[in-house]
Each structure stands twice: as C-alpha cells, then as structure tokens.
Amino acid sequence: MTQHKEPPDAAARRAVAPVICYPTATLPEPPLEACRAAWSSARKAGTVRVPPREARVVEVPAGGFLRIVCPERPQVGDLNLFSAHDLSERFYSGKTRALHGSHVTAGDRLWSCFPWLRPMATIVEDTLAWYGIDEHGGAVHDVIGTRCDPYTGRLLSGTDYHHCCHSNLTRALAAHLGVPVAEAEPHVHDVLNVFMCTGFTRDAGRYFMKASPVRAGDHLLLFAEIDLLAVLSACPGGDCGARHSSDDAACHPLDLEVFVGPPPDGWRPPEPNAYGRSHGAGS
C-alpha cells in the first residue's frame, strides 16, 4: 500500500477547532420539573420481568412513565421504542446521538425517525448519572452500538446464536403482534443500550464495552411523550464485561415498570415534525 508523507502543515490542519454539528440551543427544553412532579403522584400499572437472554414488550400511554430497573445483579438491556399506533415511527438512535451525544442521561430525549422526528420519550431520572466519562472514555446508556445480532455472529464466528438481542427483540415483537418473525424482524432497529458502559478506543477509534457499573436497584426513568410500544432485551452479555452473543456470561433479569397518573402540568404530546416533505421537487 502506498505510504503518503505527512504534509508540512499537518500540525496546523490538526489544530483546527471542532464545531458542534447540531447546536441545540434552540431545542425546546423538556419539562423536567413538571415531569418529576407528575412522577411523584404516578401509580404503578404493571411490571413485566424480562428473563435473561430474552425480550419482553410493554405499552406505555402518552403522559405515563416507563422505569427500567436492574432488580438483581448487573445486567444491560437493549431497548427498541415504537409509536404504539404506527410501527414505522421508531426510535432513531443516530439522530438522538447527533443531538445529545454518544450516551444519554436525565434531560435528554429519545427521538423518532423521519418524517416524524419528535421526542418519543424524555429521560427523567438516571441513577447512574454519577458515572460520567471514565479514564478509558467509557460512559453509560449508549446510542452508538447497534445491538448484538446473529448475522455479525455468523460473519465473525461461523456459528449461529439465536439469543442475541436482535433475535430476542424480533421474537418478542412477533409474539406481541401475532405475526411470523420474518414479518416482525424489519421493524427491529438500532437500540438504546440501557446500563451498558461503552466508548471508543483512543488509538484506533474502535467500539469497546466494559463491565457495567449498574447494581441492584438502579434504574432509568422515561416519560412517554407519545403512546409507546417498548421492547427490551436482557443482553446475553450480562454486564458486558467480557463477551456477548453466547451463553458464556452470567445473565440476569431486568424489569419493565409502567406508571400512569395525571400528566405533567402544561404538557402536550409533541406534533410530528413540521417539514413539508417537498424536498425541493418542482421548485
């Protein structure tokens, strides 16, 4: 391979200051205080336990809350979100990442895909917010990893593993909808990696994971901005401190808790994005 010499002005090129791609000063602030006040009077409507290496589905009404809880030992989960009325409106991890960063916490919102591009949920509480960014560049609740899947497993190991998060999410969604897995699979999308601690290596920019700091009782609390269908997989990697996409790791359950009650004062469900969708055609 041809080796290209560093140009004389290489240092100057590298020293150019970065620019934030999507400044968010004009984004409406989420009504966090109103959400927290509503949370204080919300009542539990139900709990669904997600078994290790499986996924489960819950519906959360707009104005309600979804609390994802680690009930036992350290365990991470892969979360898909859909509009309960239209599965084509789904969580958009890439745009959430572009607006809020590679990892999310309280005050950040989880955005839906085009053409809706509206907040599906707002993070109200995060018991792991204290973790911040560690010495390796790792942080918690990432929107950079896609989900462990059988296709990459086959590509890298030549074997089939059916309890990776992609397959877990597919089976759970198919069972909920009462459709074949082949019909459900195209709806499964890039996830919010709940409780997962990840980052990029500094030398080569490679995606890494490390043992999650989550402990029993930790939770992530979401306020539902629209009627939601939430699907959570308890990752086969357990705390993701060593491996995933196998039965090697110790795995534990997660809980999906749904709460309902009076909505926050002054809150209204967000409208779909107002862009007219002409894309300049005919102009």
Tens of pLDDT along the chain (283 residues) come to 788 999 999 999 999 999 999 999 999 899 999 999 999 999 999 999 999 999 999 999 999 999 999 999 999 999 999 999 999 999 999 999 999 999 999 999 999 999 999 999 999 999 999 999 999 999 999 999 999 999 999 999 999 999 999 999 999 999 999 999 999 999 999 999 999 999 999 999 999 999 999 999 999 999 999 999 999 999 999 999 998 888 999 999 999 999 999 999 999 999 999 999 999 997 6
Q: Identify the DSSP state of 109.
A: E
Half-sphere exposure of residue 82, counting CA atoms within 13 Å on the CB side? 21
277 found inside a domain = no
Residue 283's pLDDT is 67
Residue 279 domain flag: no
Domain count of the fold of the chain: 1
Query: What is residue 58's predicted lDDT score, i.e. its pLDDT?
Result: 98
Q: Which residues contact 275 (CB under 8 A, 6 or more apart)?
A: 115, 117
The reported pLDDT for the residue numbered 54 is: 98
Contact yes or no for 67/257 (Cβ under 8 A): yes
Contact 218, 194 (CB under 8 A): no
pLDDT of residue 2: 84
113 within some domain: yes
Does residue 146 lie in a domain region? yes
Q: Decide if 253 contacts 50 (C-beta within 8 A).
A: yes
User: Reduced to 3 states, what is the DSSP secondary structure of residue 178?
Assistant: coil
Cα–Cα distance, 230 to 246 (Å, whole number)? 24
Cβ-based neighbour number of residue 62 at 10 Å? 19
- Torsion angle of alpha carbons 33, 38, 39, 40, nearest 10°? 100
| Spatial separation of the C-alpha atoms in residues 114 and 116, rounded to whole Å | 5
User: Whole domain around residue 94: which residue ranges?
Assistant: 48-214+231-260
Whether 70 is covered by a domain: the verdict is yes
Residues with Cβ within 8 Å of residue 262, at least 6 apart in sequence: 38, 41
pLDDT at 3: 87
Cα gap 50→29, rounded to integer Å: 32
Residue 39 in domain: no
Bridge partner residues of 8 (DSSP): none
Peptide bond into 115 cis (omega under 30): yes
Map tokens 């500094």 to a residue: 202
Residue 25 lies in a domain: no
Do 75 and 258 contact (CB within 8 A), yes or no? Answer: no
Which phi-psi region, left, alpha or beta, contains residue 176 (left: φ > 0; alpha: ψ -120 to 50)?
A: alpha
HSE-CB at 30 with a 13 A cutoff on CA atoms is 23
Residue 160 lies in a domain: yes
